[in-house]
Amino acid sequence: MNRRLGGGVAVVLVISLGLALASCRKPVKTPPDDPASSAPPTVEQEQLVLPSVTGDSGGAWAQIERVFPASEDPTTCFFADFHAQSGETTASITGELVTAGEHNLLVWLDSQRLLVRSKYIVDFDNQGRVTQLEVPASSARLSPDKRRIAYWGSGDEFGDGCGVAVMDLEGLSTAVISSFPSSKEAWGTAESEIGVGPRLSWLGDSTLVFDGPFEKHPAIYEYDLASGEISLFQDRAWAVQTSPQGKYAAFMLWDSWGSQPDPNLYIRVLGRDGLTPVPITCSPYDCSVYFDDASGTIAIAERSRMVLGVVRDSAFKILASEELEGLALQVRVEANQVSFVVLVKTSDGVPDALTERTLTTPGGG
């Protein structure tokens, strides 16, 4: 149940891909952002609260409250309430359906502006006013400079299909880019073959990389916001994820498309030749990769394990790993360690605890 809490929709920069609306549906494992059949349970449950996220000024904070399941598997999706406060001003957003793999659950854009789920901006300079952005949270990604949000969307601005949009959070300018040729059959192949919809990610502040449609095989494309040029980033690949400053990219790669049933996870160090295979078996849906550009530390969250490693001499070295009892949230990677919060579930599938974890490499890596 998503609620419209205010107005002020920011402008969008559109890369229209001319695809069918059906191709923008969520993966079968992921519920839609606003399912008519889903609603938060009415039965009171013990409140689970994620650790607070402090604003840049030090006087503002935000946290996720009242986490409760939305399906039989809480590692797939859950309902939650969000609460923030700056001084004596408070703001709340309740009954939000959060899906696994969402980014930017709580991000301070500056000392008084909070981004919630990439869908809401809470402005404490304007009495805590909440503005809803017309953005599908499951695909949204915030640029490293916190000025733009990129997402997969559909609607009038995309014609008869869906496409990649870039929302300027300051509402500065609008431009429509020429369409990227495709067909709904190509996207249907993508979802049926892989079981997950397209991803996108930022490669620095002004470049996007995104999964392209299947024409003959999967591919990842690169879009330069300054020049408006689209180029091939990686052939036979899908489910792209990149590091904040654009030093690393991770994706699922088919060594031989058509004869290889399952892809393998690879890391690409930008500016270097060759790809680094990762000795981990995971699917595009279940695998989330997090990076620290400065140290080269890479964390990989599978459905049941957190792995910490680095790329050394064109090989991925696993430095530490830990089994997970539930969904990893608020993942933060720093030199030689990854910290995160685990939404733990009981045998009946109901979340019953939130635990803070830190996985550190032995001897500092």
Please provide the average confidence, as pLDDT, over all residues in the chain: 74
pLDDT band at 260, cuts 50/70/90?
low
Helix (H, G, I), strand (E, B) or coil at 194: helix
Q: Is the pLDDT of residue 7 over 60?
A: no
Better-scored residue on pLDDT, 308 or 139: 308
3-class state of residue 143 by DSSP: coil
Lowest-pLDDT range of 180-194, 267-281, 331-345: 180-194
Name the more confident of 210 and 5.
Answer: 210
DSSP H helical ranges for 6-60: none
In this structure, of 7-11, 102-106, 228-232, 312-316, the range with the lowest mean pLDDT score is 7-11
**Considering only 89-93, 270-274, 309-313, 347-351, which range has the smallest mean pLDDT?**
347-351
**Is residue 299 pLDDT above 90, yes or no?**
yes
| pLDDT number for residue 122 | 93
| Banded model confidence at residue 47, pLDDT cuts 50, 70, 90 | low
pLDDT-based confidence at residue 19 (cuts at 50, 70, 90): very low
CA atoms within 13 A on the CB side of 124: 25
Q: Which helix or strand (DSSP H or E) is residue 201 part of?
A: strand 200-202
For 182-285, give the CATH class. Answer: mainly beta
Residue among 174, 159, 190, 149 at smallest CA distance from 17: 159
Between the alpha carbon of residue 351 and those of residues 108, 277, 357, the distances in Å are 27, 34, 17
Tell me the C-alpha distance between 123 and 131, whole Å: 8
What would the pLDDT profile of 147-183 be if each residue is shown by its tens digit? 888 887 666 666 656 677 888 887 644 443 434 444 4
Give per-residue pLDDT as tens, 52-94.
777 766 678 888 877 766 666 656 677 888 999 998 999 999 9
Q: Are 27 and 196 in contact (CB under 8 A)?
A: yes
Among 22-36, 151-165, 198-212, 296-310, name the most confident range: 296-310
Q: Count of residues for the chain?
A: 365
The torsion angles phi and psi of 255, rounded to 5 degrees, stand at: -65, -30
The residue among 75, 73, 55 whose CA lies nearest residue 63 is 55
For residue 128, the model assigns a pLDDT of 93
Give the whole-angstrom CA distance, residue 240 versus residue 201.
7
Q: Which two tokens stand for residue 248?
A: 């690393």
Looking at residues 113-138, what average pLDDT do you find?
88
Q: Which residue has the tokens 């495709």?
A: 182
Sheet (strand 264-269) strand order: 237-242, 248-253, 264-269, 276-277
Residue 100 near residue 77 (C-beta atoms within 8 A) = yes
pLDDT higher for 110 or 72?
110
User: Residue 163: its pLDDT value, please?
Assistant: 72
